[in-house]
Amino acid sequence: MNNIIKHHNNIYLDYAATTPMDIRVIKKMYNYLITNDNFGNSISQIHYFGQKVHEDIEKARYQIATIIGGNPQNIIFTSSASESINLAIKGIIYKYPKKKHIITCVSEHAATLQTCYFLEKQNLCDVTYLTVSKIGLIDLDYLKDHIKHNTILITIMHINNEIGIIQDIQHIGEICKQKNIFFHVDATQSIGKFPFNLSNYNIDLLSFSAHKFYGPKGIGVLYTKHPCLIPLIHGGNHEKGMRAGTLATHQIIGMAEALYLIHKNIMNEMTRIKFLKNMLWDGVKNIPGIFLNSDLNHTSPYIINLRFKNIFNKLLLLEMHNIAVSLSSACMTNSYKLSHVLQSLGLTKKEIHSSIRISFGMFTTIQDINVTISTIHTAIHKIRHHNKFYSI
């Protein structure tokens, strides 16, 4: 597997965008696909083939639910975290049309923000977009001040995908419980990276995706504590009527296996990744004009967002051509728009164009970090001393 990540001496440090599949997950899915009796439709339980696949899906559902501390009956399989987020937010608003107020945050993922924009344009609800501090944290008193009599949903990302800031979802959940408000958490950057148990939180809806923890793309989960949603996709009674369409059995099997494998060693992996992140920062923090976008104490060990004064980030990435890092969210990389997350921190256009995101994962090694530190030093020196035309 490491040979895939290190292909042609490339180093992959964009794990917040997606992760490579664990070879053990690939083998599990492959063996499932080539087994003759695993092709049935789980909805056709009148015969053996449908029963077999239904049983396999329910085993996977149970495995995922057990790891996150939930009830298997509350797992809805979707195609992605983005679909899960859409189903959570739209499903609530369609179900409760008389309570038309949502609270979210300006630095949320595009799947949340664009869903809220859509509902506003359709005059289906009003949305309050909470501002954040200079490191990206939500002020809980500010949140409470914006709750209205008709607030039906608060939707907040646990860990921001660009800067890694960790929101206080435990206290937000308590606020929601006191006010009888549904609480949806985008846990895309949490599940498979942190020990996460739903019994520790007052969360009604939880979204996440397999490809963020070394599983297959095209499969996600919405965990819903209550039958509180109107479905978005109609056409069958799949997923207890919440999401029509024949289930992708092999992807579900792969998702469950990936989560099981990563969860077995999750505490040790967290410690290892935190060491690598601190090692990287220690190796570059003395570069003149370098800044952290957010801070080390309130952020995920898996993500660091750096800013280099007067260095155009695209040029820096060209000089780091063998190291895969990111300018921003994977969903925004092909867009000419400025990162709304970095804008929410109060960064200027020039500062945003000087920022890069580095994210770590299972196959990141100490050698990778050493090479990255050296490459950044060399690239910054070259741009500042030999290529001033391209600095900003």
Q: Say what the pLDDT of residue 265 is.
A: 95
Spell out a b/e string for 362-387, using b for 16 or more CB atoms within 10 Å of the CB, else e.
Answer: bbbeeebbeebbebbeebbeebbeee
Q: Considering the domain 2-15+266-390 in this protein, what is its CATH number?
A: 3.90.1150.10
Q: Name 359's bridge partners.
A: 14, 303
Q: Say what the pLDDT of residue 108 is.
A: 97
Q: Which residue has the tokens 């200079």?
A: 134
Check if the beta carbon of residue 193 is closer than 8 Å to that of residue 302: yes
Candidates 3.40.50.300, 3.40.50.11440, 3.40.640.10, 3.40.50.620; CATH matching 37-264: 3.40.640.10
Give the percent of the chain with pLDDT over 90.
Answer: 80
pLDDT digits (tens, 9 = 90+) for 107-159: 999 999 999 999 999 999 999 999 999 999 999 999 999 999 999 999 999 99
Among candidate residues 105, 116, 125, 331, the one labeled active-site is: 331
Please confirm, yes or no, whether 331 is among the known catalytic residues: yes
Q: State how far the Cα of 294 lies from the Cα of 341, in Å rounded to an integer.
A: 11
Give the confidence band of 389 by pLDDT, cuts at 50, 70, 90. very low
Q: State how far the Cα of 114 lies from the Cα of 240, in Å rounded to an integer.
A: 27
Give the confidence band of 349 by pLDDT, cuts at 50, 70, 90. very high
Q: State how far the Cα of 221 lies from the Cα of 307, in Å rounded to an integer.
A: 34
Whether 289 shows a pLDDT value over 90: the answer reads yes
pLDDT digits (tens, 9 = 90+) for 78-103: 999 999 999 999 999 999 988 899 99
Give the confidence band of 388 by pLDDT, cuts at 50, 70, 90. low
Q: What are residue 133's phi and psi, to 5 degrees?
A: -75, 180
Check if the beta carbon of residue 302 is closer than 8 Å to that of residue 358: no
Q: State how far the Cα of 114 lies from the Cα of 118, in Å rounded to an integer.
A: 6
Q: What is the mean pLDDT of residues 71-75?
A: 96
Q: Say what the pLDDT of residue 198 is.
A: 97
Give the three-state DSSP class for 245: coil
pLDDT digits (tens, 9 = 90+) for 296-310: 989 999 999 999 999
Q: Name 128's bridge partners.
A: 103
Q: State how far the Cα of 315 lies from the Cα of 177, in Å rounded to an integer.
A: 48
Every domain of the chain and the residues it spans: 2-15+266-390, 37-264
pLDDT digits (tens, 9 = 90+) for 192-242: 999 999 999 999 999 999 999 999 999 999 999 987 788 788 887 787 877
- Residue 68, judged by CB atoms within 10 A of its CB (0-12, 13-18, 19+), counts as buried
37-264: same fold as 2-15+266-390? no
Q: State how far the Cα of 233 lies from the Cα of 366, in Å rounded to an integer.
A: 46
Q: Which residue has the tokens 């809980």?
A: 140
Whether 386 shows a pLDDT value over 90: the answer reads no
Q: What is the mean pLDDT of residues 247-275?
A: 97
